[in-house]
Amino acid sequence: MQGALILGRAAPGDQVNLGARALRVSPDGLFVFGIGRDAPPTLRLTIRGAEGETRVRRLDIARRRYPVQRIDGLPRRLVTPDARALRRIRAESARIRAARFRDSAETGFAAGFNWPVVGTVTGVYGAQRILNGAPRKPHLGVDIAAPAGTPVRAAAPGVVSLAEPDLFFNGGMVAIDHGHGVSTLYSHLSAIDVAVGARVARGMRIGAVGDTGRATGPHLDWRIQHFATAVDPFRAAGPMPGGGRSVRSAR
């Protein structure tokens, strides 16, 4: 399904490709890949064995329908940045991209994902965003409203690849590398409690909920990536503990 994070296992020594992209395969055959919001109806997975044999699997991808979310009341400079702000945004985007594109041998992703905070879901994966009446890119994470200062915890074990206190759009932001191109991103933090290079365990406090960057109230924007492909945290982590609370207005 669009938005899914898929774990697979091949024989040790096999080579695995998703389309033309080679996937990292662990010594025991573990691999992972994401299916994007707008993935095509079919994908091709190719496995080449150590003896040269090739197996091909056609993956039929179920389509999803995504809601439209309107967010009003944002400062104009955060919706239509000026030239100076755009230069800053480009530089910050390069740092975020570098964190997302790490391809380490870590396998923390295989442990599964916990919700980093429990609260009210105010924005869902894939929603088309209209900001102050202007269409913008789809939202590719989950927004969780919670009181400012609520602890934010690592969703899975890994290594901190980004810890920025003041990004233009994301505000305080942490990224964690879970291996094989899988990372989690935590934005709008009011505090950051980890540094780049720190190894974190699942459930370890990494920061606190805030409303920094482009935000209309205290919340966490939580994302799961496989390189450039964002996947749906609900698909990876399952239902929020206790059922969470229902979706209200977007943030």
**Rounded alpha-carbon distances, angstroms, from residue 170 to 57, 73, 183:** 38, 17, 16
Question: What is the structure's pLDDT at 245?
Answer: 53
pLDDT tier at 248, thresholds 50, 70, 90: very low
- pLDDT over 50 at 124, yes or no: yes
CA distance 78 to 57: 44
- pLDDT single digits (tens) 175-225: 999 999 999 999 999 999 999 999 999 999 999 999 999 888 999 999 999
- pLDDT over 90 at 17, yes or no: yes
Q: Hey, which of 3-17, 72-86, 124-138 has the most confident mean pLDDT?
A: 3-17
Tokens of 51: 């003896």
For 1-10, 78-87, 218-227, which range has the lowest pLDDT when averaged over its residues? 78-87
pLDDT tier at 133, thresholds 50, 70, 90: confident
Question: What is the structure's pLDDT at 216?
Answer: 84
**Rounded alpha-carbon distances, angstroms, from residue 38 to 105, 122, 126, 140, 179:** 28, 22, 9, 11, 24
pLDDT tier at 251, thresholds 50, 70, 90: very low
SS3 assignment for 218-235: CEEEEEEEECCEEECHHH
**Rounded alpha-carbon distances, angstroms, from residue 246 to 28, 91, 145:** 41, 36, 11
Question: What is the structure's pLDDT at 68?
Answer: 85
The identity of residue 64, as a single letter, is R
- pLDDT over 70 at 139, yes or no: yes
Locus of tokens 């197996």: 55
The DSSP code for 242 is G
Average pLDDT in the 75-101 region? 90
User: Average pLDDT of the chain?
Assistant: 92
pLDDT tier at 250, thresholds 50, 70, 90: very low
CA distance 81 to 145: 25
Rg (CA), the chain: 18
pLDDT tier at 116, thresholds 50, 70, 90: very high
Are the C-beta atoms of 11 and 49 separated by less than 8 Å? Answer: yes
Tokens of 200: 């974190």
> What percentage of the chain carries pLDDT values higher than 90?
82
Question: How much is the pTM?
Answer: 0.92
